[in-house]
Amino acid sequence: MNDIPISALLGALVFLVILSAFFSGSETGLVSLNRYRLRHLAKTGHRGAIRAAKLLERPDRLIGLILLGNNFVNILASSIATILALRLYGEAGIAIAAGILTLIILIFSEVTPKTMAVLHPERFAFPATWVLSPLLKLLYPFVWLVNIAANGLLRLGGINVNQATTQAMSSEELRMVVTEAGAMIPRRHQMMLTNILDLEKVTVDDIMVPRNELVGIDLENEWDDILQQLTNTQHTRMPVYNGDINNVVGVIHVRNILHLLTQKESCKDDLNRWIKSAYFVPEGTPLNKQLLHFQREKRRSGLVVDEYGDVQGLVTLEDILEEIVGEFTSDPSIHIKEVHRQTDGTFLVDGSASIRELNRVMQWELPTNGPKTFSGLITEHMESIPVPGTSLMLAGYPVEIVQTKDNMVKTAQINPHFRRPNSNDSTDQSAV
Q: Tell me, what CATH number does 347's domain have?
A: 3.30.465.10
Last residue of a domain, one of 268, 296, 321: 321
Same-domain check for residues 26 and 91: yes
Residue 207's pLDDT is what? 86
Residue 174's pLDDT is what? 79
Q: Coil, helix or strand for 238?
A: strand
Asked if residue 174 belongs to a domain, the reply is: no
Q: In the chain, count of helices (H) and strands (E)? A: 17, 13
**Residue 303 pLDDT greater than 90, yes or no:** yes
Q: What is the mean pLDDT of residues 147-160?
A: 78
Q: b/e for 99-115, b at 16 or more Cβ within 10 A?
A: eebeebbeebbbeebbe
Q: What is the mean pLDDT of residues 136-150?
A: 86
Highest mean pLDDT among 154-163, 228-237, 240-249: 240-249
Checking phi first, is residue 218 left (phi over 0); if not, alpha (psi -120 to 50) or beta?
Answer: beta
pLDDT tens digits, 240-274: 999 888 899 899 888 888 777 777 666 777 788 88
| Domain harbouring 256, CATH code | 3.10.580.10
In sequence order, what are the residues at sequence separation of 6 or more whose Cβ sits closer than 8 angstroms to the Cβ of residue 16? 73, 74, 76, 77, 80
Residue 223's pLDDT is what? 82
Last residue of a domain, one of 143, 163, 183: 163
Asked if residue 170 belongs to a domain, the reply is: no
Q: What is the mean pLDDT of residues 54-82?
A: 88
Asked if residue 179 belongs to a domain, the reply is: no
State the total domains in the chain: 3
Asked if residue 425 belongs to a domain, the reply is: yes
Number of Cβ within a 10 Å radius of residue 275: 17
**Residue 154 pLDDT greater than 80, yes or no:** no
Same-domain check for residues 132 and 16: yes
Lowest mean pLDDT among 118-122, 367-371, 383-387: 367-371
Same-domain check for residues 101 and 224: no
DSSP 264-306: TT--HHHHHTT-B---EEETT-BHHHHHHHHHHHT-SEEEEE-
Q: What is the mean pLDDT of residues 71-90?
A: 85
Q: What is the mean pLDDT of residues 46-75?
A: 88
Model confidence at 296, in pLDDT bands (50, 70, 90)?
A: very high
pLDDT tens digits, 161-208: 665 555 666 777 777 778 777 667 787 888 888 888 888 888 898 888
Model confidence at 220, in pLDDT bands (50, 70, 90)?
A: confident
Model confidence at 425, in pLDDT bands (50, 70, 90)?
A: very low
Residue 115's pLDDT is what? 92
Asked if residue 125 belongs to a domain, the reply is: yes
Beta strand pairing status for 237-242 and 217-218? Answer: parallel
**Residue 56 pLDDT greater than 70, yes or no:** yes
pLDDT tens digits, 31-41: 888 887 888 88
Same-domain check for residues 213 and 156: no
Same-domain check for residues 307 and 342: no
Tell me which DSSP letter residue 241 carries: E
List the beta bridge partners of residue 412: 349, 401
Same-domain check for residues 356 and 287: no
Question: How much of the chain, in percent, has pLDDT values that exceed 90?
Answer: 14
Residue 383's pLDDT is what? 85
Same-domain check for residues 341 and 315: no
Same-domain check for residues 219 and 128: no
Residue 293's pLDDT is what? 94
Last residue of a domain, one of 291, 321, 351: 321
**Residue 231 pLDDT greater than 50, yes or no:** yes
Residue 285's pLDDT is what? 92
Contact 233, 254 (CB under 8 A): yes
Quote the mean pLDDT of the chain. 83
Residue 166's pLDDT is what? 55
The pTM for the full model equals: 0.62
pLDDT tens digits, 100-130: 888 998 999 889 999 999 999 988 889 999 9
Taking the CA of residue 385 as centre, how many other CA atoms within 13 Å lie in the half-sphere pointing to its CB? 8
What is the C-alpha to C-alpha distance for residues 91 and 204, in angstroms, rounded to an integer? 82
DSSP 323-389: HHH--SSS-GGGGGTTEEE-TTS-EEEETT-BHHHHHHHH------SS-SBHHHHHHHHHTS-PPTT
Same-domain check for residues 10 and 159: yes
Number of Cβ within a 10 Å radius of residue 232: 7
Q: Coil, helix or strand for 211?
A: helix
Same-domain check for residues 259 and 208: yes
Asked if residue 228 belongs to a domain, the reply is: yes
Asked if residue 274 belongs to a domain, the reply is: yes
Phi then psi for residue 424, to 5 deg, are: -90, 20
Residue 290's pLDDT is what? 93
Taking the CA of residue 220 as centre, how many other CA atoms within 13 Å lie in the half-sphere pointing to its CB? 7
**Residue 428 pLDDT greater than 70, yes or no:** no
Residue 329's pLDDT is what? 52
The domain of 144 spans 6-163
**Residue 372 pLDDT greater than 90, yes or no:** no
Asked if residue 259 belongs to a domain, the reply is: yes
Tell me which DSSP letter residue 203 carries: B
Residue 366's pLDDT is what? 87
Calculate ∠ Cα 180-181-186, nearest 5°.
Answer: 120
Same-domain check for residues 289 and 383: no
Same-domain check for residues 315 and 344: no
